[in-house]
Amino acid sequence: MIPTVEWKNGIVRMLDQTRLPLETVYNDCKDYQTVARGIKELWVRGAPAIGVSAAMGLALGARQIAANTFDEFWPKFEEICAHMAATRPTAVNLFWAIERMKKFAQANREKSIDEIRGLLVDESQRMLDEDIETNRRIGGYGSVFVSDDDNIITHCNAGSIATAGYGTAEGVMRSAVEEGKKIHVYVDETRPVLQGARLTAWELMQENIPCTLITDNMAGYFMFHDMVDVAIVGADRIARNGDVANKIGTYSLAVLCKEHGIPFYVAAPLSTIDFTMEAGSSIPIEERDPREVTHVFGKVQIAPDGVRVANPAFDVTPARYITAIITEVGAFHPKDIHRLADGKTDPEKLRLK
């Protein structure tokens, strides 16, 4: 596992995933503005990784604030939080991480500003460490849904580098392999930014997990020919009713799975569940630069000049297409997911396996 993001001697180092798989390059961020830019420009992407990067960015921002008292510090810190929140609208982990850092700062308001700065760094590091542990748990709960010799299909990248480490959907695959199961993964290339082709294929190959890269529109072909046993994807935001926002194309994949009787699993931490959002229809969908569609990776033009383009980066898969949502406290039927809010219901009572 290579680090996705890390705090190193007062800077935040972000893996520049736009350069993968050809080059493994880290960008050093000396201020919160650069971290925010890195999130927006997809140096680091994937819901949990965005959350941890934002938290580290805020810890960096706290060091840029000139203040002697908490009352001086707080409005400036809130401005930095707002700047960070404006980077990407769909992944709720971003807002979850910002809220956690704000609450943590408030809880320590009686301490000196210097102490608060240090504590915010510690808190962001804690979030990173917790995320890896969370993903291992997701892997443990999810691997029971993977059988020996399964052919899995996945979309986008929900691997180690989409998180602080280990991955969500890919964590489930990794866990199954660690248990000795033989698997093979069909990797959707994931137009337009190609997270599947560039990142998932690369990660699986690094892990020696057999995989086959396909274009997004080939998924139905392989299902029709009985070559896919199970689908596992990640999530950017899950609503209370179990609807799931994930990379554009996830909905089409889920519909295909239903048609072919293939179970469709979503692996995500509790921090991806938006317990304030009733249904997926309210999830904000990021609209990205048309150039991502008209050009291959911003370089080679493949569409006529001036063509009208739509580029929604995510779609919402209704809960009825989802077999189970796999979290760090167990796998659940999507309709039960809202009952996990605030730890009110014992997950044991709701778990599927």
Active-site residues, by number, are 236
Asked if 54 is part of the footprint of ligand MRU (rule: CB under 6 A), the reply reads no
From candidates 48, 57, 280, 334, binder to ligand MRU by CB under 6 A: 48
Pick between residue 123 and residue 236 the one whose CB is nearest to ligand MRU: 236
The reply to whether 163 sits near ligand MRU by the rule CB under 6 A is yes
Is residue 195 involved in binding ligand MRU (CB under 6 A)? yes
50 or 105, CB closer to ligand MRU?
A: 50
Kindly state whether residue 89 participates in binding ligand MRU, applying the rule CB under 6 A: no
Q: Are 224 and 46 in contact (CB under 8 A)?
A: no
Nearest to 139 by CA among 170, 108, 164: 170
Alpha-carbon torsion (337, 170, 211, 203), positive or negative = positive
* Contact range with ligand MRU by CB under 6 A, out of 161-169, 303-311, 315-323, 329-337: 161-169
Residue 162 near ligand MRU by CB under 6 A: yes
Nearest CB to ligand MRU, comparing residues 91 and 257: 91
- How many residues touch ligand MRU under the rule CB under 6 A: the total is 17
Residues numbered 279 to 338 that lie near ligand MRU (CB under 6 A) are 313
d(CA 6, CA 29): 10
Out of 38, 196, 234, 334, point to the residue binding ligand MRU (CB under 6 A). 234
Q: Choose among 233, 256, 132: nearest CA to 173.
A: 233
CA distance 155 to 246: 9
> Is residue 51 within the footprint of ligand MRU (CB under 6 A)?
no
Based on CB atoms, which residue is closest to ligand MRU, 54 or 62? 54
**CB 11, min distance to ligand MRU, A:** 23
Task: Work out whether 134 is an interface residue with ligand MRU (CB under 6 A).
Answer: no
Span near ligand MRU by CB under 6 A; candidates 60-68, 122-130, 156-164, 258-266: 156-164
Which residues would be at the binding site for ligand MRU (CB under 6 A)? Answer: 45-48, 91, 156, 158, 162-163, 168, 195, 234-236, 246-247, 313
